[in-house]
């Protein structure tokens, strides 16, 4: 496996993509594991490398809106104005797929998610290879998404030939997935573009109930990936929901210690001071959910190396950037929650 930093590896990476190989590359959201979106065998090897269930569709990454109609149909004025406003950026637009889109990219769905990433290295890789990239996050399936080249290496060493290292991903949570094939449009997965920002252009945009609740048995998930176990650290994690600075978090910590366990807390900076000297991973200022989001996946990976046996996390208001944050945190916890009030 080669880990290369920009721009040395770009030509080799582009050649690998053209030959049907896999390359992990940085985007502004998380690291992606890319293959030529028009090559079904190359795309199949993404599923294999990740251990990804075959019903979980991939996002097609483009560098120019001119590449969009190759994959999606029904690109109307609303879709175009969304692209104009939010691309390049963390918004995936789902529309009916064209016949030229391999079925394996969309996991058999008749729609396709497309986005233009806002990372110079991602855009250069697409341009240099002259290929759209089908790419999910570059983690082993079920693990937290990687926001550094090291996190990709931890999951994928020996499995993929190359990682382009572009430093830490600034957004740190994945794109917002917006289904424009339905009326009204539906946010299937909250992400780097807030629902509030989307509604400035699409006042009628709805939010899929799965944003903050566990998959309901018997209900076919609108976005299949949502139903799978996701972002899970190797130790049990519980989210404590309720008022700020409630005594519940320190109490759970102290009870775990006295029963012989090794606890650790995921906290805002303010709570980590308030609950000192208990062991914690500080995530950032409580009122800055975007900053906390950018730290979250790395913090979940730190839990695995912490030696702790159990973790408890503070909860945050699920609005603005906080919706994507709570979506990821609740999934990482497998929806294990305790209400403090």
- Whole-angstrom Cα distance, residue 157 to residue 165? 14
Nearer to ligand AMP, 208 or 314 (CB): 208
Of 315, 313, 319, 322, nearest in space to 289 by CA: 322
- Whole-angstrom Cα distance, residue 100 to residue 157? 32
Written as six digits, the tokens of 326 are 């709570």
Chain-centroid distance of CA 163 in Å reads 18
CB 92 within 8 A of CB 176: yes
Of 7, 3, 4, 36, nearest in space to 19 by CA: 36
Write down the least CB distance from residue 259 to ligand AMP, Å.
37
Nearer to ligand AMP, 13 or 138 (CB): 138
Q: In this chain, which of 29, 137, 293, 315 binds Mg ion, going by CB under 5 A?
A: 137
Is residue 175 at the binding interface for Mg ion, with CB under 5 A as the rule?
A: no
- Is 99 buried (19+), middle (13-18) or exposed (0-12) by CB count in 10 A? exposed
Q: Which residue is nearest to Mg ion (CB)?
A: 137
- Whole-angstrom Cα distance, residue 65 to residue 180? 16
φ and ψ at residue 183, rounded to 5 degrees: -120, 125
Stretch that binds ligand AMP, among 104-112, 151-159, 192-200, 238-246 (CB under 6 A): 104-112
Is residue 165 at the binding interface for ligand AMP, with CB under 6 A as the rule?
A: no
CB 23 within 8 A of CB 164: yes
Is residue 56 at the binding interface for Mg ion, with CB under 5 A as the rule?
A: no
Is residue 225 at the binding interface for ligand AMP, with CB under 6 A as the rule?
A: yes
Is residue 151 at the binding interface for ligand AMP, with CB under 6 A as the rule?
A: no
Write down the least CB distance from residue 223 to ligand AMP, Å.
3
x/- letters, 29..68, toward ligand AMP (CB under 6 A): ---------------------------xx-x---------
Written as six digits, the tokens of 253 are 């910590």
Is residue 173 at the binding interface for ligand AMP, with CB under 6 A as the rule?
A: no
Stretch that binds ligand AMP, among 37-45, 103-111, 257-265, 298-306 (CB under 6 A): 103-111
Binding footprint of ligand AMP on the chain (CB under 6 A): 56-57, 59, 94, 106, 109, 111-113, 136-137, 174, 177, 188-189, 223, 225-226
């Amino acid at each position: 496996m080669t880990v290369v930093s920009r721009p040395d590896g770009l030509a080799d990476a582009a050649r690998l993509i053209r030959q049907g190989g896999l390359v992990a590359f940085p985007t502004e959201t998380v690291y992606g594991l890319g293959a030529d979106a028009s090559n079904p065998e190359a795309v199949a090897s993404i599923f294999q490398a990740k251990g990804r269930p075959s019903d979980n569709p991939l996002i097609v990454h483009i560098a120019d809106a001119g590449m969009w109609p190759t994959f999606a149909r029904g690109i109307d004025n609303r879709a175009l104005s969304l692209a104009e406003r939010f691309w390049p950026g963390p918004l995936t637009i789902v529309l009916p797929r064209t016949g030229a889109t391999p079925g394996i990219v969309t996991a058999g769905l008749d729609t396709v998610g497309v986005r233009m990433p806002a990372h110079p290295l991602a855009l250069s890789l697409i341009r240099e290879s002259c290929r759209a990239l089908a790419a999910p996050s570059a983690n082993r399936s079920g693990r937290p998404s990687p926001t550094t080249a090291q996190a990709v290496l931890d999951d994928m060493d020996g499995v993929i030939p190359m990682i382009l290292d572009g430093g830490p991903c600034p957004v740190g949570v994945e794109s917002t997935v917006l289904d424009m094939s339905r009326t009204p449009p539906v946010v299937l997965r909250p992400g780097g573009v807030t629902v509030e920002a989307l509604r400035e252009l699409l006042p009628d945009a709805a939010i899929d109930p799965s944003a903050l609740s566990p998959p309901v048995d018997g209900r076919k998930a609108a976005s299949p990936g949502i139903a799978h176990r996701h972002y899970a650290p190797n130790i049990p994690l519980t989210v404590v929901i309720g008022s700020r600075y409630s005594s519940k978090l320190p109490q759970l910590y102290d009870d775990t210690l006295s029963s012989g366990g090794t606890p650790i807390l995921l906290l805002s900076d303010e709570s980590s001071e308030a609950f000192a000297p208990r062991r914690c991973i500080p995530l950032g200022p409580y009122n800055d959910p975007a900053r906390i989001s950018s730290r979250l996946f790395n913090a979940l990976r730190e839990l695995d190396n912490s030696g702790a046996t159990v973790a408890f996390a503070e909860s945050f208001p699920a609005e603005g950037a906080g919706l994507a944050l709570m979506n990821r945190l609740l999934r990482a916890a497998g929806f294990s929650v305790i209400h403090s009030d």
